[in-house]
Amino acid sequence: MKNLIVVLMGGLSGERKISFLTGKACSNALKKKGYKVKELDAKGYFVDKLKKLKPKLVFNALHGKYGEDGFVQSILESLKIPYTHSGVLSSSLAMDKELSRILFTKNKIKTPKYFLLQKGYEGDFKKKIINKKIKFPIVIKPVNEGSSLGVYICKNKIQFNKNYNKLKNGYNRILVEEYIPGKEIQVAVMSNKALGAIELVPTREFYDYKAKYSVKAKTKHIMPAPLSRKKYNEVLFLAKKAHKILGCRGITRSDFRFFKNKFYLLETNTQPGMTKLSLVPEIAHYCGIKFGELVAWLVKDASNNR
Ligand SMILES: Nc1ncnc2c1ncn2[C@@H]1O[C@H](COP(=O)(O)OP(=O)(O)OP(=O)(O)O)[C@@H](O)[C@H]1O
Ligand SMILES: [Mg+2]
């Protein structure tokens, strides 16, 4: 079909459900703007289906493994189909919380202190935690998940053992990091401009899956984040820098903790959520950019060789 946009959604990751919400919201907005749109679940033999559809471009609404990590991006490069958001290498780097942190640290962006546990090569936990000067509570998480899946706050060794055992069957590489108290601040970057910073105040222990996607969890969103002008500009600068260091394109969202006047970057998301409760659309709205305009901008920005 001529001038068709395929919205890739669903897929194979743990964030499949959320990706449908993102995908549907984006596809509806594009239809409203007059684009010809087809939704496609990136599962099974979807590449054959995609080839048959011969789209003008792909709107990537996938989250997590295979959708946000360079995998689908390389398929689209090899098919020469333009696509939205970041390219192959930036997606892979950003999805890998260890590799992206190495780059952040090298470029003087603060991250929590951490070490890696690799399945089969765990080594001496006690030695590692002492060497890194990390104290309980600690946070453990897979290097390549999203939506807070597999994120556990552990107050002591017993809780750590219990949660690590839950994670180690599904994931080969797990981060152990210091818990940073304080505020949860997230920043949206569009093209090379940081749009704004929002603060999230969960009613739950932390900003977990429910706090992110359930209205009932009543997470408070404060836009703009209540920071001094200096600190507000600083976090915008850091998010823009992280976007640039990773070589990201389109729109990203960087997640920070703010404690004792310092920002700690947790990660940069290359396929940020676009659901009803999502933060990029909320930040953009505050800046006068409507959801439809945001999605249409992503379409116009799509290309290959990203
Ligand atoms: N070191 C930490 N200190 C304090 N809280 C943390 C820490 N790491 C993670 N968290 C909490 O867990 C949440 C999810 O962590 P993180 O952003 O690393 O995971 P994710 O699954 O990649 O999330 P996303 O939905 O953004 O993809 C954070 O927003 C924060 O509330
Ligand atoms: Mg996050």
Token pair listed for 10: 């669903």
CA of 36 to the centre of ligand 2 (A): 32
pLDDT at site 277: 80
The string of pLDDT tens digits covering residues 177-203 is 999 999 999 999 999 899 999 999 999
- Phi, then psi, of 116 in degrees rounded to 5: -105, 140
Q: Does any ligand 1 atom lie closer than 6 A to the CB of residue 139? A: yes
C-alpha span between 138 and 128 (Å, rounded): 13
The string of pLDDT tens digits covering residues 202-222 is 999 999 999 999 999 999 999
CA of 54 to the centre of ligand 2 (A): 34
Q: Does any ligand 1 atom lie closer than 6 A to the CB of residue 267? A: yes
Calculate the average pLDDT of the chain.
97
Q: Which protein residue has the closest C-alpha to ligand 1 atom 28?
A: 207
Q: Which protein residue has the closest C-alpha to ligand 1 atom 1?
A: 179
Token pair listed for 98: 């260890």
Query: What is the torsion angle, in degrees rounded to the nearest 10, for the CA atoms of residue 224, residue 229, residue 232 and residue 237?
Result: 130
The predicted model gives 78-107 an average pLDDT of 98
Helix-then-strand count for the chain, H and E: 11, 12
Q: Which protein residue has the closest C-alpha to ligand 1 atom 19?
A: 148
Is the pLDDT reported for residue 253 higher than 90?
yes
Among the atoms of ligand 1, which is closest to the Cα of residue 114? 1
What percentage of the chain exceeds 90 in pLDDT?
96
Among the atoms of ligand 1, which is closest to the Cα of residue 253? 26
> Which range, of 4-8, 42-46, 272-276, 300-304, averages the lowest pLDDT?
272-276
Tokens 């958001």 belong to residue? 85
Q: Does any ligand 1 atom lie closer than 6 A to the CB of residue 180? A: yes
pLDDT at site 276: 75
Q: Does any ligand 1 atom lie closer than 6 A to the CB of residue 255? A: yes
Among the atoms of ligand 1, which is closest to the Cα of residue 149? 21
Q: Does any ligand 1 atom lie closer than 6 A to the CB of residue 64? A: no
Is the pLDDT reported for residue 2 higher than 80?
no
pTM: 0.97
The string of pLDDT tens digits covering residues 145-182 is 999 999 999 999 999 999 999 999 999 999 999 999 99
The string of pLDDT tens digits covering residues 269-296 is 999 999 878 999 999 999 999 999 999 9
Nearest to 245 by CA among 99, 48, 147: 99
Q: How confident is residue 236, by pLDDT bands cut at 50, 70 and 90?
A: very high
R_g (Cα) of the chain, nearest Å:
19
Among the bound ligands, the one closest to the CA of 279: 1
Substitution candidate for ligand 1 out of 85, 266, 278, 279 with most atoms within 8 A of CB:
266
pLDDT at site 38: 98
Q: How confident is residue 84, by pLDDT bands cut at 50, 70 and 90?
A: very high
- Phi, then psi, of 254 in degrees rounded to 5: -105, 135
Substitution candidate for ligand 1 out of 148, 205, 274 with most atoms within 8 A of CB:
148
Substitution candidate for ligand 1 out of 143, 206, 213 with most atoms within 8 A of CB:
206
